[in-house]
Amino acid sequence: MGILEVKGVNKRFGGLQALGDVNLSVAENTVHAIIGPNGAGKSTLLNCLVGKLIPDTGSVMFDGQSVLGRTPYEINQMGISRVFQTPEIFGDLTVFENMVIPAFAKRDGSFRMHAFESVASEKDIVAHAEEMLTEVNMQDKIHMHAASLSRGDKRRLEMAMCLLQEPRLLLLDEPTAGMARADTNNTIDLLKEIKEKRDITIAIIEHDMHVVFSLADRITVLAQGTPLVEDSPEKIRGNPKVREAYLGEAA
């Protein structure tokens, strides 16, 4: 029984079958990659996991509880954090403020009327945020506007914001899309480091095979909205069906 169980999920947009009978099980404390060619339904699947879309049929269970019909913030409060393809951060705020917000969300829940004490007086929150920033090597940028960060730093910040909440499941949507090789390698190292330091399950949607094979414990190949195979990286590499559907072009 995995921490995330997707069973028989279908999603249709008009005449297009975006997802057809998707079954997926992500085991706890593993890195599970979901790969597939463009239009295979990877993003649709991800959106079904975080509450942005509701599947037409099927079930999505996280830690024994259904996520269907819940809003994104409720799902986050259950322990699922999401990193976007293009970093979604609070551009108008400082790096520090960006870090403080998830800390409050973790401690106080989805809403708390907390309008009199200053942020600075919340010592535990401040310490927590600073500690996390140090861990991702951004302590020197703490007072910068988040919008003025480099793309790599924005990604780093977003990841730190998610990790600060100590999610049980971290969803990564093409975290290296559009990155130069050096940045991609840095991201791989960062993710490996994250994985080593804590118990966390990571589900990653990725295009870049280099990233997938460096990180994943388990791989699901999606093609035309349906899982083709699910196996370990070694087996996937040798699987003729996968080569045909996806790696064929790359190999």
Partner 1 sequence: MLGLNKKDMTLLIVVAILTLLAPFILNPFPVDSGMAQFNAGYPDLMQRFVIFGILAIGFNILFGLTGYLSFGHAAFLGVGSYAAVWMFKLLSYNVVPAILFSVILAGLFSVLIGYVSLRRSGIYFSILTLAFAQMSFALAYSVLSNPKFNLTNGETGLQVYADDPQILHRDGLPDVPHLFGWAMRDNFLELKLGGWEFTFNNGYYLCAAILLVVFYLSIRLFRSPFGLMLRAVKSNQQRLNYTGLNPKPYTLAAFIISGMYAGLAGGLLASMDPLAGAERMQWTASGEIVLMTILGGAGTLIGPVLGAGFIKYFENIFSKINDNVLHQWFSFMPDGMEDFLVFIVHPFVGKGWHLTLGILFMLVVTFLPGGLVEGGQRLGRLVRSRGKKPEDPKDPEHHPKETPHVAE
Q: Which residues bind partner 1 (CB under 8 A)?
A: 50, 71-73, 76-77, 81-82, 84, 88-94, 97, 100-102, 104-106, 108-122, 125, 143-145, 148-149, 161, 165
| Closer by beta carbon to partner 1, 105 or else 216 | 105
| Closer by beta carbon to partner 1, 114 or else 181 | 114
Q: Least distance to partner 1 from the beta carbon of 88, Å?
A: 4
- Both tokens of residue 212? 């997938």
Q: Do residues 168 and 200 lie in contact, with contact meaning Cβ atoms separated by under 8 Å?
A: yes
Q: Do residues 188 and 215 lie in contact, with contact meaning Cβ atoms separated by under 8 Å?
A: yes
| Closer by beta carbon to partner 1, 29 or else 77 | 77
| Closer by beta carbon to partner 1, 38 or else 121 | 121
Q: Least distance to partner 1 from the beta carbon of 68, Å?
A: 17
Name the amino acid, one letter, at 33: A
The secondary structure of residue 247, as a DSSP letter, is I
- Both tokens of residue 93? 């705020």
- Both tokens of residue 151? 């793309």
Q: Least distance to partner 1 from the beta carbon of 160, Å?
A: 12
Q: What is the dihedral of CA 175, 180, 184, 187, to 10 degrees?
A: -70
| Closer by beta carbon to partner 1, 84 or else 213 | 84
| Closer by beta carbon to partner 1, 154 or else 218 | 154
User: How crowded is residue 107: how many other Cβ atoms within 10 Å of its Cβ?
Assistant: 13
- The residue written with tokens 């996991």 in the block is 49
Q: Least distance to partner 1 from the beta carbon of 33, Å?
A: 21
Q: Do residues 24 and 195 lie in contact, with contact meaning Cβ atoms separated by under 8 Å?
A: no
| Closer by beta carbon to partner 1, 101 or else 229 | 101
- The DSSP string of 109-134 is -S-----SS-GGG-HHHHHHHHHHHH
The length of the chain in residues reads: 251
Q: Least distance to partner 1 from the beta carbon of 242, Å?
A: 31
Name the amino acid, one letter, at 120: A
Q: Least distance to partner 1 from the beta carbon of 85, Å?
A: 12
Residues 6 or more apart in contact with residue 58 via CB below 8 angstroms: 6, 7, 8, 9, 10, 21, 22
Q: Least distance to partner 1 from the beta carbon of 127, Å?
A: 15
